[in-house]
Amino acid sequence: MTDIKPEITEDGFLDNAFAVLQPRKGAHRAGLDAVLLAACVSASETGAVADLGAGTGVAGMAVAQRCAEVQVEMFENDPASVTLLRRTVALPRNTHLAGRLIVTEADVVALDGARFSHVIANPPYNASGRQASPHARRAAAHMATDGLLKNWVEAAARICLPNSRLTMILRPDNLDDIRQAMTGKFGESFVLPIAAKNESAPIRILITARLGAEDGERELPLLVLHKPDGAFTDPVEDILRGRKGIDLLGMSG
């Protein structure tokens, strides 16, 4: 981590393959969730990928790093985040990715026009009953408003090409809402539960589904983040260093 200004840090991801500028405090700082989400896009992907609610850009940039043939459009509606994200793309450390990255200031729910082969999203997923951050920008990034998941899924359906995929990272207690939101739009879904340690309850889920497919869901084997000593498990360490992805379809057997 490098300090650019006291309020901004420059952080490396995927074994320092690229760098991202992030606020030190007062706003969302991306990390593990974004990298896990990006790892679900196949390295052989060749189309255009959309990152909805891109924030600091970690997920979208990780997709571009892993997938040498894709163009990634990162959509974000917070003007301050958009400004910082454009500075991130322009960093000398990111020159190898910059030509395949587009930053677009837009409200996700207003998106239209089918052009993407894969849409990824790390939406605000905390229910309104949870205590919100005292920092307004961080709270906005984390707290889900009523109908948000439904609106984001509908937007994804509008911008996905036929038979393309939507992949999201959420809390387990969002599962019923996302199932309902996807009904009639995305089907053949696969759900990967993620736990901090063995024998602990899942704290996240990754879900992927295909536009226009019939309803149906399969739960995949648990992904465990940490060993008993707190270190990352070997599969997660490989993901964080960019050595491997997460093949949700292949995991289905």
* Residue 223 vs residues 217, 232, 233: alpha-carbon distances, Å: 17, 11, 9
C-alpha span between 240 and 39 (Å, rounded)? 9
Question: In this structure, what CATH number is given to the domain that contains residue 234?
Answer: 3.40.50.150
pLDDT, position 24? 85
Q: What domain count does the chain have?
A: 1
| pLDDT tens, residue by residue, 101-125 | 999 999 999 999 999 999 999 999 6
| pLDDT tens, residue by residue, 7-29 | 899 999 999 999 999 998 767 67
Provide the pLDDT confidence category of residue 6 given band limits of 50, 70 and 90.
low
Torsion of CA 39, 237, 8, 142, to 10 degrees: 60
Provide the pLDDT confidence category of residue 87 given band limits of 50, 70 and 90.
very high
- In three-state secondary structure terms, 252 is helix
Mean pLDDT across 49-55: 97
Mean pLDDT across 148-155: 97
pLDDT, position 158? 98
Provide the pLDDT confidence category of residue 4 given band limits of 50, 70 and 90.
low
Token duo for residue 110: 């207003």
* Residue 211 vs residues 2, 15, 39, 151, 154: alpha-carbon distances, Å: 41, 33, 20, 15, 11
pTM assigned to the model: 0.90
Cα dihedral sign, 172-174-180-186: negative
Q: Residue 218 belongs to what domain range?
A: 2-252
Percent over 90 (pLDDT), the chain? 83
Q: Which residue has the higher pLDDT, 144 or 34?
A: 34
Mean pLDDT across 170-175: 97
Percent over 70 (pLDDT), the chain? 87
| pLDDT tens, residue by residue, 121-142 | 999 965 445 444 343 444 343 3
pLDDT, position 5? 57
pLDDT, position 25? 79
Helices 175-182 & 148-159 angle (0-180, nearest 10): 40
Angle ∠(110,112,113) on CA atoms, nearest 5: 165
